[in-house]
Amino acid sequence: MSFYNDVRAPGGAFSHPGEECGIFGAVGHEEASFLNYYGLHALQHRGQESCGICSSYGGRFHHRRGMGLVKEVFTQEHLEELPGVAAIGHVRYSTSGESHLVNAQPLIFRYRGGELAIATNGTLTNAPELRAELESEGSIFQTTSDTEVLAHLVARSREASLEEDVFQALNRLDGAFAFLILTNERLIAARDPHGFRPFSMGRLGDARVFASETCAFDAVGATFDREVAPGEMLVLDDEGNQESLQFAEPRRRGVCTMEYVYFARPDSDLDGINLHSARKRLGRRLAREALVEADVVTGVPDSSISAAIGYAEESRLPYEMGLIKNRYTGRTFIQPSQGLREQGVKMKLSAVRGVVAGKRVVMVDDSIVRGTTSLRIVRLLREAGAREVHVRISSPPFQNPCYFGIDTPSRDELIASRLTVDEIREKIGADSLHFLSREGMVEAIGRPECGHPDRGHCLGCFTNEYPAPTYEEER
Ligand code: AMP
C-alpha cells in the first residue's frame, strides 16, 4: 500500500488526527466539492487547524488540503479543480501544540484494490495494539494517525471487493469513529457500534450528503434524512444506489454528552434533539438546582448562551450581555501553552461594564476543564465592577479524560480531578460555584431511555465509567 499524501511529517511524532473533527461528504451531485466547502464551513467550529477535500472524477482522485480555515484554504479556482459528483471533506481540530499539514485529512491511500480517501472523526481505542500487530506483519506506517490503521487493515484484507475489505477492517476497530471513505466508484459511511460521535445522512434532490452535524445540511440546503446507525456501513454510488450493511451489532449506546453540553452547534440536532433547546433545559435545571439571589444572568459566549438563557428564564432574572466575545479569535484550546491560553482568553472576551458594574452577576458556563476560562472571566467581571460573581456550570465536574474522540488534557490538568468544588471556587475567585448534577444533566438533555440509567450517553468524563473499554489499564 502506498500513502501518497503530499506532505511528510517532520520528526514523525504527531497527535491523533482523528480527534475532535468534522466530516462532510456528498455523492450524486455535480458540484460535490462545492457542497463540501459550504458543509465544512458550517462545521468549522469542530476544527480550525486544517481542512481538506477530496473528489473523485475520471477514475482518479483530486484533492487539496491545507492549514487554516476552510475559507483560507479554498478559493473558487481550487474547488473547480476538484471535479466529480462525489467528494469528502474534513476539518481538523488542533489536539496538540504542533500543527502539521500531514495531519490534515482526507488521507489518501493506494492499494491493490484501488484508491481510497478517508476522513474521520473519533479515536480508535485499540489503535496502538492494531498498529503493533500490523507492524509486526510488515506494515510500514507514515503517520501515527488512526486513519492509517484503517487503511492498512483494508489493504491486508483479502476479500473479493474493496467494500468487503472495508467491512472486515471496520470489524477490527474499537472506540469512537465516524468514517467517510471515498473510492473511485463509491462513497462509504460508517459509524462505530456505540454511536459515540454524531453522524447523519441528508438528501439534496437525488444527491446524498453526510455530516458530523445537521447544521451542515442547512448550510447546503439539504434535508436531514436519518442518523447513520451505530455499527452501520452505508455504501452509495453516484447513480443513487444505496446499500446498508451492519458490520457490527449495535452495542450499548454511548452518545457523547459533551456534544450536547459544548461541542455541537446550537442549530444542530443530535438524536432528534435540538442542541440550543437541550442547553436551555440544562440551564433551567441548573437554576432549579442552584438558585442564587442576583441581579443579572450572563453566559460565556458563544457556547454557554443557551444555558444562560435557560437559567435566566427559570430564575426569572434578566439575561444580559455581560460578556462579549471578539469573534475574530479562535477557541482557547488552540493555544498551545497555558501561558498563551491565558493571554488568549484575555484577547477573546471582555466584560460589559455598563451591564455588570455594581451588580450581583450569575455567570453561566458550560464546563470547567482546566479552570483557566473561569478564573479569567471572574476576574474580568470584577474588574468591570461586578459586586458578586456566582458561577454556574451546566454540566457536572469534568474529572476524567476522554478516550472517545474529545481532546482533553491529562487527568492531573483537569481542575475538578484535583480540587473539591469549594477549592475550585476559591481558586477561580467566585462568590459561589455550582455544577449541574449528573441526573440533572441526563434528564435535561432528554434522550429517551435506552435501558440504562445514563439513557445511552457516554458520561465517562464525568463518571469515569465508559460504555466501552478504554484499554488504559491493560497498558
Ligand atoms: P478551561 O478554561 O480549561 O476550564 O476550559 C473551559 C472552557 O473551554 C469552557 O468555557 C468550555 O466552553 C470550553 N471547553 C470545554 N471542553 C472543551 C474542549 N474539549 N475543547 C475546547 N474547549 C472546551
Instruction: Please state which CATH class domain 2-251 belongs to.
Output: alpha beta
Confidence of residue 8 (pLDDT cuts 50, 70, 90): very low
**CATH fold match for the domains 2-251 and 274-327+335-452:** no
Give the helix/strand (H/E) hosting 211. Answer: strand 207-211
Is 450 catalytic? The answer is no
Average pLDDT over residues 314-339: 75
How confident is the model over 106-111, as a mean pLDDT? 91
**Domain at 274-327+335-452: CATH architecture:** 3-Layer(aba) Sandwich (3.40)
> How many CB atoms sit inside 10 A of residue 79's CB?
20
Average pLDDT for residues 387-394, to the nearest whole number? 98
Q: At residue 4, does pLDDT exceed 70?
A: no
Query: Is 286's C-beta closer than 6 angstroms to any atom of ligand 1?
Result: no
Nearest atom, ligand 1, residue 300 CA: 10
**Amino acid identity at 418:** R
> pLDDT-derived band of residue 275, with 50, 70 and 90 as boundaries?
very high
The pLDDT tens digits of the residues spanning 139-192 come to: 888 877 888 999 999 999 888 888 999 999 999 999 999 999 999 999 999 999
pTM of the model: 0.92
Domain ranges of the chain: 2-251, 274-327+335-452
Q: Is 60 exposed, middle or buried (0-12, 13-18, 19+ CB in 10 A)?
A: exposed
Q: How far is the CA of 42 from the centre of ligand 1 (A)?
A: 20
Residue type, 307: A
How far away, in angstroms, is 309 Cα from ligand 1 center? 19
- With beta carbons less than 8 A apart as the criterion, state whether 167 and 159 touch: yes
Angle subtended at Cα 105 by Cα 103 and Cα 106, rounded to the nearest 5 degrees:
150
Q: Mean per-residue pLDDT for 27-42?
A: 98
Looking from the CA of 29 toward its CB, the CA atoms found within 13 Å total 26
At 422, the pLDDT band (50, 70, 90 cuts) reads very high
243's grid cell: 446499500
Taking CA atoms only, the protein residue closest to ligand 1 atom 15 is: 367
Return the pLDDT at 449: 64
pLDDT tens column, 218-264? 999 999 999 999 999 999 998 889 999 999 999 999 999 999 999 99
